[in-house]
Amino acid sequence: MGMKFTEDQQRVIDLRNCNILVSAAAGSGKTAVLVERIVELVSGSGCDSARAVDIDRLLIVTFTNAAAAQMRERITKALSDRVEAEPDNEHIKKQLMLIHNAKIMTIHSFCLYLIKNHFNDIGLDPDFRTADEGEMRLLKQEVLSELLEEQFALGRQEFTDCVEYFAYDGREKRLEELIERLYTFSGSYPFPEKWLRQHRMDYHVETFEEFVKTEWFAGMMQEISALLQECKEQEKAALKVCEEPDGPYFYAVALEQDQELIAGLEQELASVVQAASEPEQSVASAERDSSVAKDAFEALAARVQGISYARMAPKKDDSVSAEKRELVKAMRERVKSLLGTLSEKYFVSGPKQWLAECRQADAALCELVDLALLFGERLTEKKREKNLLDFEDMEHLALQILLKEDENGQMVPSDTALEYREQFAEILIDEYQDSNLVQEFLLQSISGEDDGRFNRFMVGDVKQSIYKFRLARPELFLEKFATYQKEDGSCVRVDLKQNFRSRHEVTDCVNDLFLQLMHRELGGVEYDADAALYPAAQFPEADGAAADALEKGVALGGEEKQGSAVPVSTACEASIARSPYEPELCIAAISGEKGEDPKELEAKMIAGKIREIVGKLPVRDSESGQLRPARYQDIVILLRTTSGWDETFKKILEENAIPVFVTSKTGYFAATEVQTVLNFLRVLNNPLQEIPLFGVLKSVLFGFGDAQLATLRALDETGKRCLYDCVKLAAGEGESGEGSVGYGSGSNGADASLREKCCSFLSFLNRYREYAVYLPIHKLMEQFLEETGYLYTVSALPGGVQRRINVEMLLTRAESFEKTSYSGLFHFIRYMEQLEKYDIDYGETGASDENADVVRIMSIHKSKGLEFPVCFVSGLSKRFNRQDSVAPVLMDMDLGLAIDWVDPTARIRHTTLKKNVLARKLNADSMGEELRVLYVALTRAEEKLILTGTCKEDKLPQEDATQGAYGYSALRLQEASSYYDLVLPAWQSVGRRLQICTQEELLQAELVRASLGYNSRQKLFEEAGKEPEAAELALCERLQKPYAHENLAGLFVKTTVSELKKEGMQEEAAEGLELFPEEEVVPYLPQFVREQEETVSGTTRGSAYHRLLEIFPFERQETWTAEKIRTVIEEYKADRRLSEEYAAAINVYKIRAFLQTPLAARMAKAARSNRLHREQPFVLGLSANRLNTDFPEDETVLIQGIIDVYLEEEDGIVLADYKTDLVKDPKELILRYRVQLDYYEEALVRLTGKCVKEKLIYSFGLEQEITL
């Protein structure tokens, strides 16, 4: 309503009754358009109001939960604006009420919705639980270990051969990894078992006729054709240089002969392709592999292997440019290299050897696929036993609900899917370029396309498809992009090309680069007029002074160079004009002598550029829309991956007094404070682990110095003792430790200080090993942190706020672990190790808020969907990760599986023909992904774009056009090893400036800054000697005045619910006659800690009851008799979760009475679905005057307490509290404890965001439930 849309945007909003694909370039306003379309659909504006639909009849699919929440918020606001404009419009008011039930969700949330509503269709227990990643890692490892152990026991020859084939170096773990990778990869296909069985026979090829009919043979032919085309283009370009006025004309003869040679190869290749497509037998059928295709291929192989090159004339002519002479030589050498690669990869061996390799690889691959299928079956069984689902299950179970197999074996929509077709008037999919095949099948099954009702709306930008590692299929978008028409029809494509984000300097730069780099042959996208960015953002004009501020030299002292090639467009010429917003490419030159870390050098260069920008570069303020000087918070540094880079950059920037914040998905487990706590837990589990024990002893917790640790090691005279034995020896315990009643009985060479430390450590360790037997992990950690004061310790260190958050996050992980099907210290350590091993990292939890004035460092993936006034795209010189193309098993959704040929006996292996083909395809796909990632990075910038990298001094770019003058083929792009290799020649070829900074220049700039800092400090010292001014005197006077609010001296910062209850209700605490009085529950104290023997008190007995109910197995489906309760108590006593004293204090008949109540039944049901919460601590902030009217309203008091139990039910929360007071009338308990439970209710509402529908007290004295 308030926003003016472009013609294309308005068309997207108004189109109806058709499938729509919106190709929305970066910054084209797709979210605003999508929201407006939804509002128009539900409000009826812009079309016949009778065609308006209710919003709960739309399915709106987003990529993330955050995006879904933002979408819901935007739609709600837009509808609220409509209601304000049309207060009598009842239909729009209705939509505002329905918005809370609208299906605005991720694909996984929609799948979960389907499963919860149709679990009976797939035979699923409705009490299932979603497993977290750590639990799934443990479960997969467990299933894999059991599976391989079973297979080894069976001793099948096929399995033994498979182990020898894939774990030829004795690394059996590799086989586990391959099985899991294969299983996971197949999960991105709608029917994974079908895909695996289909490609199980990929190497089952018996004749050459079968060989040439494979998809990968066709792929090989295409690759050879592309390679010959590249050679032909290279020779043509070289001849063009020879024909120039000062070109090496005498090389033309040899080049022309090369062209004839390549033409002959192309003719032979055409013969192979033709023969392969129409095979004819050339001899009797008994000679099955003597086909026309084989003959043609052997003729091609003979010609490739027999290549000979004409000698280039060595003529001397002073009129010939030496540079052009070398350029032509380099071009011809590249042709030779390409043809050499062709020969090595495809023509070293012949069809006979290929078929032999296929036969050997066939058996190994079949067994590997069978193991992956068996692993999938076993894993599914385990998950069903534990009633677990993971995210992958959700998609495939949803498919089972929506699809069924017909009599012809084809998958067709189920009755359920047809019902949803009727329910959903339109399906809108955001970020469609990141969908996979499973999601495509899901959404297609509930769309009306099969019935002639076109109601799918898909929006995205295939140039920003950067989730290949999550097995996204940009091909789905590309297929529709190629087939949907721009004109109105049943399937329409609309391109949104105008960019409302960036200045024209940024969009011109992006266009200049990607017109050269992004082609259909590499990643499927052609960067043409339809894909280019068209600037449409409006920015205020910068005044002359601001522009001049950035023109006063280069602060780093860097040298500027300009490429010699002619710009490709007038837009580029305009951007090259000296504008403060002109994009920059800055290269830090690495000296071979000093060997400084390239990352540090690049970070220092970036620090200098940031100082040039902050306070000087005018940028648009997001709120006022006017120009203001740039701040740190306007700047982001984007990296392909933050791992190994972010800490270096952060350190250097902070050394340069630049505030910085790292937004990272990695680094959590590497944090010292996290490792210290984890190491202590490892030592608790097994103190014989050397490295964790060393880390714990050396940590701030126990403070062993290097000399003391060396002394401990020196006690090991035999060389056979572990560190733990040395600690015990130093503490005075004997070698075996047996028979010792304490520590400190002997020195064994350790001095008194070391002996005391060792005794203290062992005492502490043994005490916590006892706690670990019965305390839940998070309680154990809380006790450890409280006793050691470790949270306070890390808070006092540099970066203390961040460190404290990291440790607290570890507590959160412990609580998450306790919700899994695993328990105990051993499994928790494995759980955390699996999270670390498989990079299921959580990043160091951010201690910075959105508005903090800091420079942000983040990965390019993390930045997707964001925008920043000033954007550094850094780490350009980092080499690409090509691991996917060199793995033991290559996987591709279309071409299938490829493996090496291995001779286990001789311990040799080499790449099979199919693996060569697949590796080239994966490399091409990977490079296409890298180009799209680079596009995402460059399009984050609103006003200023700076690219940075490093290069060795002897390889700095020169002022020539050797690499970029003749364009970029897909093959040449695949040869790039980093973004630097891609960007630099493209940058130079359009005449854009470079800035090169040497180490010496950066050092000089540092010295200048240090000098300026010294002068600033001197000025401060001089100011300190002056007489105090009036303002300072006034401040001192104010500080000496008495405090004006003495009446608040009694205002407490924190109190407990029990204290408030006592003050407000004056509750009675008489000793109970039949049971025991209600007292505060206290933790169990071992008998030897107490000063003297005590009799069992009411307090201890109450603690015992609370402890038992905290750990009682409510999830068991039992009829609880007194005998069964005694058995449980004995089990707990045996594993030390319940002390003997507590066990003796419990009356099993009282417990039995409680377990027969409706409350206990509800608790049992909640426990089975992981919705029962016991002994929940909380801290509640309240206004002080709620507790005492004398206190001010703006002061906050913290109320802490522990909720005995609450359970989540579908329509709200049930809160319960155990009471042991001896009373005759339930009303007494209500009168005493209503205030207490009201506080509990308020805390739960804030904690969970859900309403408390019921508050109960269970009285053990009355054996009765009491409803408040």
C-alpha distances (whole Å) from 633 to each of 272, 555, 625, 848 are 61, 21, 16, 11
pLDDT of residue 45: 62
Q: What is the CA radius of gyration of the chain?
A: 36
DSSP states of 1119-1171 as a string? ---HHHHHHHHHHHHHTTSS-HHHHHH--HHHHHHHHTSHHHHHHHHHHHTT-
pLDDT in tens, 785-826: 999 999 999 888 877 888 888 899 899 888 888 888 888 898
Strand partners, 389: 130
> Would you give the DSSP letter of residue 719?
S
pLDDT of residue 524: 83
Tell me phi and psi for residue 812, to 5 degrees.
Answer: -60, -40
pLDDT in tens, 182-203: 999 999 899 999 999 999 999 9
pLDDT of residue 1075: 30
Name the least confident of 638-647, 853-862, 1079-1088, 1156-1165: 1079-1088
3-class SS of residue 986: helix
pLDDT in tens, 93-112: 999 999 988 999 999 999 99
For the chain, percent of residues with pLDDT exceeding 90: 46
pLDDT of residue 173: 86
Q: Which of 245-259, 1100-1114, 1196-1210, 1246-1260 has the highest mean pLDDT?
A: 245-259
DSSP states of 475-527 as a string? HHHHHHHHHSBSSSSSEEEEEE-EESSS-HHHHHHHHHHHHHH--TTTTS---
Neighbours of 1018 (CB within 10 A): 10
pLDDT of residue 966: 53
Identity of residue 303: R
pLDDT of residue 638: 97
CATH architecture of 672-803: Orthogonal Bundle (1.10)
Span 1186-1196, average pLDDT: 65
pLDDT of residue 1135: 74
> Would you give the DSSP letter of residue 541?
P
Span 160-184, average pLDDT: 88
Q: What is the CATH number of domain 534-667+851-906+914-1003?
A: 3.40.50.300
pLDDT of residue 741: 38
pLDDT of residue 570: 33
pLDDT of residue 243: 92
Whether pLDDT at 35 is above 80: yes
pLDDT of residue 1211: 83
pLDDT in tens, 611-636: 999 999 999 998 888 999 999 999 99
Q: Which of 164-178, 340-354, 405-419, 493-507 has the highest mean pLDDT?
A: 493-507
Whether pLDDT at 565 is above 60: no
What is the Cα–Cα distance from 558 to 542, expressed in whole angstroms? Answer: 25
Span 1002-1022, average pLDDT: 61
Mean residue pLDDT of the chain comes to 83
Span 228-250, average pLDDT: 92
CATH architecture of 7-128+390-496: 3-Layer(aba) Sandwich (3.40)
Q: Are strands 559-562 and 534-535 parallel, antiparallel or unpaired?
A: unpaired
Rounded to 5°, angle at Cα 834 from 829 and 839: 130
Whether pLDDT at 585 is above 90: yes
pLDDT of residue 1099: 66
C-alpha distances (whole Å) from 1004 to each of 596, 658, 659, 1008, 1009 are 15, 19, 22, 6, 9
Whether pLDDT at 961 is above 90: no
pLDDT of residue 283: 45
Whether pLDDT at 114 is above 90: yes
Which positions ≥6 away from 1046 have C-beta within 8 Å? none
Q: What is the CATH number of domain 1054-1267?
A: 3.90.320.10
Whether pLDDT at 1058 is above 60: no
Q: What is the band of 563 on the pLDDT scale with cuts at 50, 70, 90?
A: very low
For the chain, percent of residues with pLDDT exceeding 70: 83
pLDDT of residue 1192: 66
Whether pLDDT at 90 is above 80: yes
Length of the chain: 1268
pLDDT in tens, 518-545: 988 887 889 999 999 999 999 988 665 5
Q: Are strands 855-859 and 660-663 parallel, antiparallel or unpaired?
A: parallel
Whether pLDDT at 327 is above 70: yes
Which positions ≥6 away from 813 have C-beta within 8 Å? 134, 832, 835, 842
Whether pLDDT at 749 is above 50: yes
What is the Cα–Cα distance from 512 to 509, expressed in whole angstroms? Answer: 5
pLDDT of residue 736: 43
> Would you give the DSSP letter of residue 1188?
-
pLDDT in tens, 1086-1106: 443 343 344 555 667 777 888
CATH 3.30.70.1400 fits 132-186+362-386, yes or no: no
Q: What is the band of 1036 on the pLDDT scale with cuts at 50, 70, 90?
A: low
Whether pLDDT at 597 is above 60: yes
- Residue pair 790/807 in contact by the 8 Å Cβ criterion: yes
- Residue pair 217/223 in contact by the 8 Å Cβ criterion: no
pLDDT of residue 780: 93
SS3 string of 464-482? HCCCHHHCCCHHHHHHHHH
Structure tokens at 1008: 């200048």
